[in-house]
Amino acid sequence: MVELPQRIGLVGLAFDDAKAVCGGIEEVLCAFPDLVVARMTVPQCGQGRSLLTLVVSATTDQIGALAGRLGMIEDVRVKSVVL
């Protein structure tokens, strides 16, 4: 089996109620401990939404799995891009 190369990716999350979703987000991030290179949170960034941006170093499959798990959290919107 061919090993996929590591890529740099960005995963952006938007959510309205940080207290309601933070536990779920942290649980997912703990399941992918080696992927996150940097993290930035912007609380109440406008329109009452909070933003969380992750810079990850992983294969495209791992980035997709992380984004998919985060997207299953109720009231969390996720977008990802591989650079």
Query: Looking at residue 14, which CATH number applies to its domain?
Result: 3.30.70.1150
Question: How many domains does one find in the chain?
Answer: 1
Nearest to 9 by CA among 79, 57, 51: 57
| pTM recorded for the entire structure | 0.91
Query: Is residue 44 in a domain?
Result: yes
According to the model, what pLDDT value does residue 60 have? 96
Mean pLDDT estimate for the chain: 94
Domain range for 26 is 7-82
Residue 45 reports pLDDT greater than 90: no
Query: Is residue 42 in a domain?
Result: yes
The answer to whether 27 and 76 are in contact (CB under 8 A) is no
Residue 58 reports pLDDT greater than 90: yes
Query: Is residue 2 in a domain?
Result: no
